[in-house]
Amino acid sequence: MTDQYTRQSFLGSKSAELLQNATIAIVGLGGGGSHVAQQLAHVGIGRVLLFDPDRLELSNLNRLIGGTAADVGARAEKVEIARRMFVAINPAAEVHTYAVQWQLAADALREADVVISCLDSYAARQDLEVSVRRFLTPLIDIGMDVHLVNEQPHMTGQVILSVPGGPCFRCLGFLTDENLRQEAELYGAAGGRPQVVWSNGVLASVAVGLVVELLTGWQRRRFRAEYLHFDANEHVITHSPRLEYAPKQCTHFAADFVGEPVL
């Protein structure tokens, strides 16, 4: 183990090698994804695939890790900002950037050992989960939102792990026809979602912790799903009760839902 990772040697004698040889994809390099990228670089992930079609705007600067005022002026691609940050921390890492929607580089996404979804719509998450399940890839989703409760802003978020064979987003009650319908009705009227750096950081950190646990097994825990709820007003993360009531095996994706379909 090199000096760079000695402080995380408790993760196991092979942990550095396991992390170095893993390929992690991040879909969405905004407020959440940029945090994830930074931490994955620090922890020693050797290969990352970065997907985001957008360029940095001024309204992103309150939360996009690695983004600078100069990047706003230059209209820098979010994937390029993440790439620059990643290789500055870990020059030996292999970083592949796709400045397009992930659907336009879907064959690259298949190489990932884990996909981290930092998307901001239920519809997008639905499609991503279906696709990564076909390729037997665990998916971690993070997201936050602000809504009014008694006219006061209430900030919440989630970190969800969906593993092929285990309960999916629908099994966990995260994706429902109702929330997809409501989202479709709001199309174009939603405006920019409220987002702040510290909540994104909390969620991203938990997601990275799950990635490391999946790859190293350092806790020797058996788990095929995770659903963590973040109450950012109370600064508390709890297990969602939905995890307890979800089926242990997925009831939406058949066991033979593997590989490219034949239409």
In the complex, minimum distance from the CB of residue 212 to other proteins, in angstroms, rounded to a whole number: 11
Cβ distance 254 to 131 under 8 Å? no
Q: Is 130 in the site for other proteins (CB under 8 A)?
A: yes
Q: Is 54 in the site for other proteins (CB under 8 A)?
A: no
- Identify the residue whose tokens are 């519809």: 123
- Determine which residue in the list 181, 193, 239, 248 makes contact with other proteins, applying CB under 8 A: 181
Q: Is 78 in the site for other proteins (CB under 8 A)?
A: no
Ramachandran bin of 259, using left for φ above 0, alpha for ψ from -120 to 50, beta for the remaining angles: left
Cβ distance 113 to 213 under 8 Å? no
Cβ distance 216 to 189 under 8 Å? no
Q: Is 213 in the site for other proteins (CB under 8 A)?
A: yes
Q: Is 28 in the site for other proteins (CB under 8 A)?
A: no
Q: Is 135 in the site for other proteins (CB under 8 A)?
A: yes
- Determine which residue in the list 111, 147, 239, 248 makes contact with other proteins, applying CB under 8 A: 111
Cβ distance 252 to 168 under 8 Å? yes
Beta strands in 114-250 (DSSP E): 114-117, 139-149, 152-162, 225-231, 236-239
Question: Interface with other proteins by CB under 8 A: which residues?
Answer: 18, 21-22, 96, 101, 103-104, 106-108, 110-111, 113-114, 123, 126-128, 130-131, 133-138, 163-165, 168, 170, 177, 180-185, 187-188, 213-215, 217, 221-224, 252-253, 256-263
